[in-house]
Structure 1
Amino acid sequence: MGLSWQQGPLGGAPNGQFLTAQPLPERLLFAERLRRRLRVKLAGEWIADSENVQLLHEPGRYPVAYFPIGDIRQGVLIEEARITKHRDLGDSQWYAVNVGDRRVDHAAWQHVALPEFANVLRSHVAFGWRAMDAFFEEDERIVGHAADAYHRIDIRQTSRHLVVKDGERVIADTKQPLVLYESGFAPRWYVRREDIDDSALSPTEGQTFCPYKGLASYYDIGHQRKAAWYYPQAWPEVARISGFVSFEPDQVDVHIDGKKLALEPGQTVVAHGIDRGLDPDELLNRG
């Protein structure tokens, strides 16, 4: 989640509500200074370096970083004969990005007919995340999309009794699960390997990526496809869940203290927004 994605307050299906007498606009955009040094690399060279990035939160999209033109290397932006219209921000001029012999078309854009209320984005350019080789905060690689300061994860040890079943078969039984609280999402429960019947788990092909937790692998359970997942090498910030397994409550029966869990509305994560495909080796070498 984040401010404008999934069940965030500016997203399409917020978990809460604004307490106001007047109805809010159907769409709210929010821009703020990132207050972190963000850099962009293409063809082995730095092409943008700024401590004054504006981060745009737009409903249903990942946050997008906009760089002041003065913080972008001169000569790398090549204006294209391509103008599109943003539903809130007007005309968008597109650019190719050129470094040496490397040229990437449709790789950056600038809103050139901004309404008065969006002046904070004037003379700022955004780079397509999947079009660039890498983005960095200081010297550390940021993968997936620009970091959202409103996204938070807390992990807590608990003694609650968790039982997972596939029909009558007990898959997991523990009184020491980890519970992961992630902004805007229902709690997710993770179980250590010692408390799981590993013979019930069948590794399956395909992995997914979370910008906040890392690369996830999946298991089938019986006839249920991708009914469980785990992070072999979770990011250091959430390393406590590395190797632990979590189970989808809409695929198998998950009980906490005798109460059966259900998959809450809006919990299904669907890739969306400006992002890029990354292979596992690239993800695991983000440093």
Structure 2
Amino acid sequence: MGLSWQQGPLALKGVGRFLVPDPLPERLLFAEPARRRMRVRLGGEWIADSSDVVLLHEPGRYPVAYFPLADVAPGALAPTDRVTTHRDLGATAWFTVRGGAAEARRAAWRHVELPGHASELTDRVAFAWRAMDAFYEEDERIVGHAADLYHRNDIRTTSRHLVVYDGDRVVADTKRPLVLYESGFAPRWYVPRDDVDESALTPVDEATFCPYKGIASYYDVGSHRQAAWSYREAWPEVRRVSGMISFQPDKIDVYLDGERLELEPGQSVTPHGVDRGLGVDEIRAR
């Protein structure tokens, strides 16, 4: 999903490779200017506001936004005695963050002994996404994690023949699926509901949130748990797949032009860490 997560070029299990004669280091970190204004809110107050944000892409993580200390509100950062060691960036000092009447302990960090090759992060601080009230680009709230400049979704119309079976039962049969190509993932095939036998689907009380597509609802198909999903109200960038059904090829038989689809590398979502914030309930409440 983007440059350094899932199967991106800087991820730990990238699907491609760099065409260079010598092996690259196992881990490559990449820092770049975001070139967009970002703001952080806590306790009803703006505690950081900057047009000089640097994004750090680290293998296995979403991008992390680093703000200049000069663009953090006075009094928002209170030093703590917590110091950890980042495997690539050295000693890391942690702060309690204060905004209005709110206080978040160990909710911001700064690398205080950076190696010379990482000078872009000098005198910069990052905020824990979950601990803050909200992050913004200009006046628009950004949910989930800092926007990955290299992440995109492309949706294409196709006339390929897709059939889904539960044993001998045809669950879906279409020659008008949409295919969604998402950075770092194998293609996802979406079927119009008119081409699905919805009596084969049992809605389950399960939902997940994607920062790029919205809230996904899940279905059991016969005895196959959560073998299908749908973005009932997909976000504007991927509106074309709203309400359509996609099927997980490792849980149910999915055939494309007569060939059975297998679970490809990148088809499963890799678990993520502290970068991601906001659960389904909070998104629904917005």
> TM-score range with shorter-chain normalisation?
over 0.9
Query: Counterpart amino acid of 1:71?
Result: D
Contiguous gaps of at least 5 residues in structure 1: none
Q: Distance in 1 between matches of 2:92 and 2:221?
A: 48
Contact 1:62/1:274 (8 A) holds in 2: no
Alignment of 1:97-246 (within 5 A): 97-246=97-246
CA distance in 2, matches of 1:85, 1:150: 28
Partners of 1:276 and 1:150 in 2: how far apart?
17
The residue that corresponds to 1:48 in the other structure is: 48
Counterpart secondary structure, 1:41: strand
Amino acid at match of 1:125: V
The one-letter code of the counterpart of 1:69 is L
TM superposition shift of 1:276 = 4.6
- Equivalent residue, structure 2, for 1:266: 266
1:265 Cα offset (Å):
2.3
Q: CA deviation at 1:280?
A: 3.2
Alignment check: 8 A CA contact 2:36 2:137 kept: yes
Q: Cα–Cα, structure 1 residues 284 and 138, in superposed 2: closer, same or farther, change >3 Å? A: farther
Corresponding position of 1:73: 73
> Residue type of the partner of 1:280?
V
Q: What's the TM-score, normalizing by structure 2?
A: 0.97
What amino acid is the match of 2:144? G
Deviation of 1:168 (Å): 0.7
The answer as to whether partners of 2:190 and 2:246 remain within 8 angstroms in 1 is yes
The 1-side partners of 2:266 and 2:152 are apart by 17
Superposed CA offset, 1:102-161 (max 9, x none): 111010000000000001000000000001011111111111110001111100111111
Q: How high is the sequence identity, in percent, across the aligned residues?
A: 66
Tell me, yes or no, if the aligned pair for 1:32 and 1:56 is still in contact at 8 Å.
yes
Secondary structure in 1 matching 2:163: strand
Q: Could you give the per-residue CA deviations for residues 199-242 of structure 1, whole angstroms, max 9, x where no partner exists?
A: 10001112111111111110011111110001111111111111
Aligned residues: 286
Gaps of 5+ in 2: none
| Corresponding position: 1:10 with 2:39 | no
Secondary structure of the corresponding residue to residue 150 of structure 1: coil
Alignment-derived partner of residue 85 in structure 2: 85
* SS across alignment from 2:22: coil
- Partner Cα distance (2:235, 2:167) in 1: 34
Contact preservation (8 Å) 2:208, 2:280: no
Contact 1:145 1:274 (C-alpha < 8 Å) held by counterparts: no
Runs of 4+ in 1 over 2 A off after TM superposition: 273-282
1:69-104 per-residue CA deviation (whole Å, 9 max, x = no partner) reads: 111111110000100000000000000001232111
